[in-house]
Structures are given as C-alpha cells and as structure tokens.
Structure 1
Amino acid sequence: MTEEETRRQRRARFESLAHVVTEPLHRYLLRRTAPDMVEDVLSETMLVLWRRIDHVPGLGTGSPPDRDDVLPWCYGVARGCLANARRADGRRLRLVERLIGVQQESPAVATDHGDLHAALDALGELDREVVRLWAWEGLAPRQISEVTGLTSNAVSLRLHRAKKKLAHQLQPGRKNAERPGHKMSEGRSSQ
C-alpha cells in the first residue's frame, strides 16, 4: 500500500468516525461547560481523535463504526480535553486576577432545577460525572467504565450510591420526615 493510499484510508476512517460522534460529543460538552468553550473543546477533541485514529476501539477499516463501540472512548477523550481546557482557563483567570487585582465572580448557576444542581453539587466530582454519563448521555455502566477508567463494578456501585444520595437530597421535607416503616414511638421503651 502506498503512502497516499494509507493517508486516504486514514482520512476515510476519521470522516466516518466524525460523522458518528460529532453531534453526541457536542451535546456532551454543552452539558458540561460554557457555550463559548464548546466549539474549542470539540475541535481539540476531534484533533486528538485524528491523531489517535488507530487507537479508537471498535473502529474498523471498512464499514461505518458502531456508535456504541466508539462513543464511550470518544467521551473519554472529550472529558480529558475539557479538563485540559478548564485547567488552562483557570491559569488564565488567575493571571488576569493577579494583573488587575480583582476577584472574578463565578458565573451564576442556572436557576432552572436549582434543587437538582444543588443535589448534584453535593456529590463528589467523579460520582457527579458517573451520574451525568448515565442520565444525560444514556451510557451503560460498561460504557461509563470506558470513559472514566473505573471498572464496571465500581461504576455500578458509584451509580447506585449516587442515585440514593440524590433521591435523599431531592426528597421533599426530608429534614423532618420519618424513616419509612418506622414510627417515632417505636424503639426502646422509656422505662
């Protein structure tokens, strides 16, 4: 195979991959960062996918890739690119703050679903990401494990515990509610 044929084949593989993953990756990033950062992070993600096209699991040479095979790995790449962008953004902000001596206000959390966002914020960062991948991206624990680098069992456990915590946090009147199946008068006698 000549070098030109290899380049054409590589380009065709990338184009078929991009056709399958661009829109889901865009949605993934929209849910996790400011709209003005999405295109930059998506571009960086696609560049990494181009560079690592031979490492994408489930990407064959002939037929179009199966979305369920390639998307979890691509989410993992997007997650890494987003983390890099956030770190770079943080460095820029700290530099600006030092230069002008003014603390920047953090953007306000969307008022829509404030209780849900507060409950999500109460989770650890990794648990929050597991829940988002499950609820927003519709990934199974096996696929989430590919994105996060955890085992499938660890993802299942984290997801189960996080859902329990969220349910508890979102329960109306949870502070004064009795535990199900228990009456306040039950328990030890006062004698």
Structure 2
Amino acid sequence: MSVDEITFSKAFLHLLANRPIQYSDDYKIESHQLGERTGLVLLTHMPYDKRKRDRNATVITNASLSIKSIRAPKFAISVNAPYTDTMLNIKSKIATETGIALNGLKLLVKGKVLPDTRSVREIVDENGAAAIMVMVTPTTAPTSEMAPTQTIDVNEENRDIEKEIDEDTWLAIEHLVREKLGTVQGAKSFAKLKQGYLQSK
C-alpha cells in the first residue's frame, strides 16, 4: 500500500506532537550539526548554574543591629528590628533598654548622624546587619525629678501684709516715685498709691 507524501507528512508530524522533547540542562548543539545555513549565527554556549534554589531558605525580614555608645554612659546592646523600622523606632528601643531619654540620643553610622526618618533597610549590609554608634547628649531633667515647689504659707503672707506701713516707709516710697516720675507726676501717683492702700485696709 503506497502513501502519498502529504499523508505521510501529516502522520509523522502528528506522531511527533504526541511525544515530548526534552533536553538536558547542559545541552548544546555543535556547529557541524547545523550544516551550511545562510544567515545563521551560532551563539557562544553560556555556562549553566546547576545549583538549585533552596525553596525552604528563610527570607531575612529582620535586621541584626549592634549598638554601642561612644562615651559615657557606656552601654552595648543588640537589637533585632524589621527593615521597615525607622531610626526613631530604634531610639525608642534603646531608651527602653538603657533608661536614657530618647531626645538625648544621636545615632551614627560610619561617622554620619542618621535622621529619625532613615529606615533600617537603608543602613544594613547584604547580611542584614549594621553597627550603630550612639552619642548621648545632655537633656533637661524630667519634671518629676525637679526640686519640689516651695509651699507658701498664705496665712503668714497675709499677716505680713496686715502690718502697718509707718511714715518713714511712706516717705521713702514717695521719694522713689518722685525720683522716677518727676516732682509733679510723682506726687500725683504717690497720692493715688497711698490712698488706694488706705482704702483697702
């Protein structure tokens, strides 16, 4: 039984379509296998990395920060922080660990002061680590640590006010007012001052 060329070609292509073609990872074709083909460019064989990616590898999401002060009070701590944390967040962690006021902390990397808005991601190396130096600056003492307010005895103050102003004191006051405001204006102001005081008694 003879088969024409077209029928044979269709049957052969159908057979090939049902058989998957697989190549090894290091497959390459030699130039002599290509024959003489016009316009054909043979690319250089590229090396293939046979190492397979570990699908169970842990993705680093936290940075390991080594933090040390450069002057008193001396301290050295380690902090794990998300890449999204800012330097303000890191200052807060340091303040919690050391008890130092947050506004008295300056963070430095390689001698440069870090702004509070700088993220952890911007300062860590490829291994997710960074060394941060801390400069502690003097701050105003908290209100709770200030000296207690002096208590004034109101009754004692009132007793002092109730004491009569003698004539010598009035003369001294009058002299001072006249000296500051002039003779005429001083006399008027002193009279009003003395009258107001006497009326309040």
Q: Which fold has the larger relative contact order, with Cα–Cα distance below 8 Å and residues 6 or more apart in sequence?
A: 1
Q: Per residue, is there more helix in 1 or in 2?
A: 1
TM-score bracket, shorter-length normalisation = under 0.3
In our comparison, the structure showing a higher alpha carbon Rg is 2
TM-score (structure 1 length as normaliser) = 0.21
